[in-house]
A and B are shown apart, each in its own frame.
Chain A
Amino acid sequence: MIGILSYGAYIPRTRLPLSAIGGRPAKDGGPEKAVAWNDEDAITLGVTAALHCLRGFDRSRVDLLVFASTTLPFQEKQASALAARVLDLPRAVQTSDQTGTTRAGTIALRAAFDAIKAGSARFALVIASDVRLGAPSSGLEANFGDGAAAFLVGDGDAIATLDDFAAVADEVTDVWRPASQAYVHSWEDRFVIQESYSPNVAAAIQALLERSQTKIANYDRVALYGPDARAHGDAARAAGIGKDQIVAPLFGRLGNAGTAFAPLLLVSALEAARAGERILVVNFGNGADATSFRTTPQIEKAGDRRGVEWNLARRRVVPRYDDYINARGLAPKEWDAGTNPGLSATILFRERDDDLNFRGQQCRKCGAIQFPAQRVCETCFAKDQFDSVRLSDRIGKVVTYTFDFFFPTPNPPTIVTIVDVDGARIHLQVIEIKPDEMKIGQEIEFVFRRIHESGGRPNYYWKGIPKPV
């Protein structure tokens, strides 16, 4: 049966209390938003969600990857090709980036289903991820949150099938960001809601209900994109969506996650759903679309997945607004980034297997696993007799550690460790742990992160986080 086989979500652990925006004191306990930290962007968020989605699945069978985002770090250089490498997908994978609208996630999901139904792909991974910036201290800054969702689609033990899809397109200069600018712009919000959001959402829902000969009351859960809590509530009421149907939109916990927003609400719905439920996903951006799903008995066997609830339970509250501004690189700097060419592209090219796929090697003679790839075995000195092994999905253990206050970072210290992964020793930054909680033997899971911006572009590698319990 063709359908969604798995899902995953990733919401950055860092939360900015909305009270902190505009320089007011940060207060924990009130409304907040999830914010990508200095080592995160749309790529790392999306890849992390995808890793969560792929847990327990054979990734060598994925032959289509669609990456949806309005905040891809490169305008020219494909995000899906980078993600495919990091996810250690087969070389023959088809890759595609979907961008330009917050609706890109549902468009990508629809495209993946179409590709599989048409026979041009067998297993498709769809990632929706966004790290949108509102100007500091603006209303949009308070509104936006960062996150990512991922779905594996294919012919197999589907947990949900796609029933129908309808879309309307519209041209309104309501919310936009020119290519050269960092901050999202919006026309007056009343105009955006009255002339763009409300009518487009209503039209898409109407189109779907007509196509599928269903009524809104037939749906057990409705995942509805909303520009803000009030407009979301108004649109739901206007469409006749009851409080028991609507999927909680997470304002005040996540924030408007852009391209990832509706997909994350779909994850929420799938997490809660039982077999035989109908789920409607309504998305918005330069028009609107509506997608209906039906869950299968398989959903009750989906087991523990890292979905929205798992992510929202992991929190670290930013103590000061300035920390957020520094981490996002929004504070003026003493020195311009300059025009250095950055890391050698040839070295990056040669080291893709190590740095992106996070593959080490196992010696065929002595069996020792080592990292990075080397010509001569570190243990038995055999030459060129290795098999490549993926380390990114293994668990490491801290051998030793230090807390580096010297390395420039928004939140010193940088925790630096030697991690043992089945015998390989890796010099690795560990994040998401307090120094006084670090101990020898700490179990470590690997996460893909931004390391620095040498050359004025993001450079990526892996870090460790404490293995989640």
Chain B
Amino acid sequence: MANKEAIRDKVSIVGIGCCQFGENWDQSPADMIVDAAYEAYADAGIEDPQRQIDAVFTGSIYTNKGPHECADALKLFNKPVSFATNYCATGTDLMRLATLSIAAGVYDTVLVVGYDKPKDRGVSGPSVVTDRVRDLPQTPAGWFSLVAATYFEKYGASRADLAKIAIKNHANGCLAEKSFLKRKITEDDYFKARIISWPFGLYDSAAQTDGAAAAVLTRTDLASRYSKAPIKIKGVTVRSGPNPQKDPKNDFLSWKPTAWARDDVYQMAGITNPRAQIGIAQVHDCFSLTELLTYEDLGFCEKGSAKDHIASGDFELTGSLPVNTDGGLKTFGHPTGATGVRMIYENVMQLRGKAGARQVPGVEGKLAVSHNIGGHPTACGIAVIGRD
């Protein structure tokens, strides 16, 4: 039986870095990896990474060139460098693998680098897969929108509720230095935009960008050597799920992997009252409705009630539980392999009280949650971090 509390507080984040997200036409994956990793080194006071970094966990979806791309960019040779992918939950899974390796006592200090480079492919948006005949069309908007008809019918939500999420994330993105899109939108903009896959229009859909994010993790008892404000890992998990496209028991009202990962990670972190204990969350808004479902599936509100909490502004920057404070995938950008690590970057900044114009007041003593869901969706990763 798994010991749910075995890793709580044993590992701390002492350095974070994130490159400018966007259509980085003039940057290679290596350029972005170097930007993110060296910012994390500087943040952790690491001056000799070849000596101070014991192991590396790295991952991407689009370049998918294995561990050498990162090892070569950073010249981290003669080291254990592993490459992992877990769909859009890749970043969170990299955090988990690094945490486990330190908690197991194998390494002291580990570098995590999530990155992706979708904009080298010559097309806008994700790839349309035509390597099979079954299941076409294979587009992420087409997968994630399958929950809309059912959810709308049962709970009476509509695109007007999704619009508020899009408007919020566009506003938040304007306040984040390294975000891709810095443009506020109105409800009118939202409804005038073209439809990608109903009910998702342009403003419901994440901005696919290039980017890299990095974190330096170390044993909590060593953390003060690196950082004045180390942030503890309270829990981190991933959960597999059945493919909703063939799962015989799927109600299309929530995504199963989120609920399963939530149960696991809340036990790891000792969360029994999410609304009281969690001060901030970065959730996977690949599409606006994915964010809406996640409010409910992470226990921020009752199933079916998200639209009421959206209407009362609960998840806005000034609300009681701000979500996607840096603009989320929607406007900060979504380089698939980097996103989970970018969320850690934002949560660490917020917990340190260093998030500038988008700083959530009073969040420092609370827990911060980051959530990724990916595949059809078939996997979820959640990390919970906190100062104390």
A contacts, CB < 8 Å to B: 343-344, 347, 351, 354-355, 368, 370-372, 378-379, 399-409, 413-414, 416, 418, 423-427, 429, 435, 440, 451-452, 454, 459-461
Closest Cβ of chain B to A460, distance in Å, is: 7
| A-B CB contact pairs (8 Å), 13 listed | A402-B198, A402-B199, A403-B195, A403-B197, A406-B125, A413-B197, A416-B142, A418-B245, A418-B250, A425-B247, A451-B136, A452-B130, A454-B130
Interface membership of B357, Cβ < 8 A: no
Write the B159-191 contact mask toward A (1 if CB under 8 angstroms, else 0). Answer: 000000000000000000000000000000000
State the CA gap A157–B137 with chains docked (Å): 44
A451 touching B133, Cβ below 8 Å: yes
A378 touching B248, Cβ below 8 Å: yes
Interface membership of B145, Cβ < 8 A: yes
A401's contact among B146, B246, B248, by CB below 8 Å, is which? B146
Q: Which B residues lie within 8 Å of A440 (CB)?
A: 149-150, 153
State the CA gap A131–B131 with chains docked (Å): 26
Total contacting residues, chain B, CB less than 8 A: 35
Write the B296-333 contact mask toward A (1 if CB under 8 angstroms, else 0). Answer: 00000000000000000000000000000000000000
Interface membership of B196, Cβ < 8 A: yes
Within 8 A of A (CB), among B230-264: 242, 244-250, 252
A452's contact among B133, B141, B245, by CB below 8 Å, is which? B133
State the CA gap A354–B135 with chains docked (Å): 12
Give the residue name and chain of the A residue nearest to B142 (CB). Answer: A404
B248 touching A423, Cβ below 8 Å: yes
- In addition to A424-B246, A429-B136, 14 A-B residue pairs with Cβ atoms within 8 Å of each other are A378-B246, A378-B248, A400-B147, A400-B149, A401-B146, A402-B148, A402-B197, A403-B198, A406-B137, A406-B139, A413-B195, A416-B142, A427-B245, A461-B133
Closest Cβ of chain A to B319, distance in Å, is: 30
State the CA gap A382–B252 with chains docked (Å): 25
Q: Which B residues lie within 8 Å of A429 (CB)?
A: 136-137
State the CA gap A347–B133 with chains docked (Å): 11
State the CA gap A302–B198 with chains docked (Å): 44
Q: Which A residues lie within 8 Å of B133 (CB)?
A: 343, 355, 451-452, 459-461
Interface membership of B42, Cβ < 8 A: no
A424 touching B248, Cβ below 8 Å: yes
Give the residue name and chain of the B residue nearest to A356 (CB). Answer: B133
Give the residue name and chain of the B residue nearest to A463 (CB). Answer: B136
Interface membership of B222, Cβ < 8 A: no
The answer to whether residues A407 and B198 also contact, given A370-B246, A461-B133 and a CB cut-off of 8 A, is no
Closest 7 CB pairs of A and B: A407-B137, A427-B245, A402-B145, A461-B133, A403-B198, A404-B197, A404-B142
Q: Which A residues lie within 8 Å of B147 (CB)?
A: 400
Closest Cβ of chain B to A333, distance in Å, is: 15
The SS class assigned to the B binding surface is loop
Q: Which A residues lie within 8 Å of B250 (CB)?
A: 399, 418, 425
Q: Which A residues lie within 8 Å of B247 (CB)?
A: 378, 425
Q: State the total of A-B contacts with C-beta under 8 angstroms.
A: 118
State the CA gap A371–B150 with chains docked (Å): 22
The answer to whether residues A418 and B252 also contact, given A407-B142, A427-B245, A440-B149 and a CB cut-off of 8 A, is yes
A407 touching B149, Cβ below 8 Å: no
State the CA gap A425–B250 with chains docked (Å): 9
Interface membership of B134, Cβ < 8 A: yes
Closest Cβ of chain A to B117, distance in Å, is: 21
Closest Cβ of chain B to A466, distance in Å, is: 16
The answer to whether residues A405 and B135 also contact, given A378-B246, A400-B150 and a CB cut-off of 8 A, is no
Give the residue name and chain of the B residue nearest to A450 (CB). Answer: B133
Interface membership of B51, Cβ < 8 A: no
State the CA gap A326–B334 with chains docked (Å): 34
Q: Which A residues lie within 8 Å of B196 (CB)?
A: 404-406
Closest Cβ of chain B to A421, distance in Å, is: 10
Closest Cβ of chain A to B350, distance in Å, is: 34
B146's contact among A368, A400, A405, by CB below 8 Å, is which? A400
State the CA gap A347–B249 with chains docked (Å): 27
B128 touching A406, Cβ below 8 Å: yes
Give the residue name and chain of the A residue nearest to B138 (CB). Answer: A407
B142 touching A372, Cβ below 8 Å: no
Closest Cβ of chain B to A56, distance in Å, is: 29
State the CA gap A372–B137 with chains docked (Å): 17
Q: Which A residues lie within 8 Å of B145 (CB)?
A: 402, 404
Q: Which B residues lie within 8 Å of A461 (CB)?
A: 133-134, 136
Give the residue name and chain of the A residue nearest to B198 (CB). Answer: A403
Interface centre among A372, A408, A416, A429 (most CB of B within 10 A): A416
Closest Cβ of chain A to B123, distance in Å, is: 11
Interface membership of B194, Cβ < 8 A: yes
Closest Cβ of chain A to B360, distance in Å, is: 34
State the CA gap A379–B198 with chains docked (Å): 30
State the CA gap A372–B243 with chains docked (Å): 12
B137 touching A414, Cβ below 8 Å: yes
Q: Which B residues lie within 8 Å of A426 (CB)?
A: 245-246
State the CA gap A435–B198 with chains docked (Å): 10
Q: Which A residues lie within 8 Å of B148 (CB)?
A: 400, 402
Q: Which A residues lie within 8 Å of B197 (CB)?
A: 402-406, 413, 416
A372 touching B246, Cβ below 8 Å: yes
A399 touching B252, Cβ below 8 Å: yes
B246 touching A425, Cβ below 8 Å: yes
B146 touching A354, Cβ below 8 Å: no
Q: Which B residues lie within 8 Å of A409 (CB)?
A: 137
Closest Cβ of chain B to A349, distance in Å, is: 13
Q: Which B residues lie within 8 Å of A459 (CB)?
A: 133
A418 touching B244, Cβ below 8 Å: yes
Q: Which A residues lie within 8 Å of B128 (CB)?
A: 406-408
Interface centre among B125, B128, B134, B147 (most CB of A within 10 A): B134
Q: Which B residues lie within 8 Å of A347 (CB)?
A: 132
Q: Which B residues lie within 8 Å of A435 (CB)?
A: 198
The answer to whether residues A416 and B137 also contact, given A404-B142, A405-B196 and a CB cut-off of 8 A, is yes
Give the residue name and chain of the A residue nearest to B253 (CB). Answer: A400
A406 touching B134, Cβ below 8 Å: no
Closest Cβ of chain B to A399, distance in Å, is: 7
Interface centre among A368, A402, A435, A440 (most CB of B within 10 A): A402
State the CA gap A171–B199 with chains docked (Å): 60
Give the residue name and chain of the A residue nearest to B131 (CB). Answer: A343
A425's contact among B132, B134, B245, by CB below 8 Å, is which? B245
Interface centre among B136, B197, B249, B252 (most CB of A within 10 A): B136
Q: Which A residues lie within 8 Å of B130 (CB)?
A: 452, 454
